[in-house]
Amino acid sequence: MKKKVIMVLGATGFLGSHVCELLKGQKYKIVKASISAGQDFLNFENTYKFFKRIKPDVVLNCASFGGSVHHVMKNPALVIKNNMLILINLYECASKMKKKPFIVNAMANCSYPHKLDVQKEKRWLDGPVHNSVYSFGNITRMKYFVSKGYFDQYKVKSINLIFGGIYGPGDHLVDNRLHAFDGIILRMVKAKLENLKYFSIWGSGKPIREWIYVKDAAKAMVKALKIKKTILEPINVSQKLVLSINKIAQITKKALSFNGVIKHDRSFQDGAFKKVLAREKSFLKNFPKFTFTKFDVAVKDTVKYYLNELIKLKK
């Protein structure tokens, strides 16, 4: 029997690399697609040639040109352009295939209205996203509209999964490209290695966020392969892990045994105050018996990763 061909878009990125790791040894043919691997999804002709050659049965779309709130605020046009080109080229190529691939999209919860304290799926479009992430939040919403449009016209089937802030080993080693959790760990590891007496949180540290360990997000992307029906309406993938930026800093300080004093650099703007995903029936129904990694294990692995990577760089 011919193996099912699974294309992982953004395969060398943070989430995509963990998805590829999970797929190892399974009965699939895995095709890694990313700009760094030579597949430029910003270019339609190159993308279409790649699709015709690979003929994927499934595309796990982990591609994302984003980063921290500070990064997307500085680069809104680039965030919109790159993400939109990748998205349209993906769906346009999928629509032209004789056997159209099934697409699983990873989405960010900054696409929810900024006024919602609890992000419920039925209220996903009830208002604008927070202005600090208007570029990335709205381009994330476009994953839904594009998937819906291409299903209605071309019958390209999709599932859209919404994640909170993803953290864990394997992310960038550049401060301003990281989300708050990994960003704090990376910068505090640097502070420890340099024997600094202080550590600065960017902003007030008060915003509250939903978090998910990258290996759990990857597991959800892979488990979505077993869902047979088309579910265009976004599904929250939530374990109700809710922490403030200040709390993350305290947890990291303890895990690192960092002795410095934590301060705040209020020259940085805060994002939305609270972004917490509701855990809903759609997730429980479609991902039965899904287990999340224990939080202390996840934090330990993440701290260990950044510590090891930065020690390597110093050698």
Joined together, the tokens standing for residue 304 give 């260990």
Joined together, the tokens standing for residue 173 give 């080693």
From residue 226, how far is each of 1, 72, 105, 219, 229 by CA, in Å? 18, 34, 15, 12, 9
Backbone angles phi, psi at 264, to 5 degrees: -125, 135
Taking the complete model, does pTM exceed 0.85, yes or no?
Answer: yes
Note the pLDDT tens digit of each residue in 136-159.
899 999 999 999 999 999 999 999
pLDDT band at 177 (very low <50, low <70, confident <90, very high): low
From residue 209, how far is each of 81, 117, 243, 293 by CA, in Å? 27, 10, 6, 18
Note the pLDDT tens digit of each residue in 43-63.
999 999 999 999 999 999 999
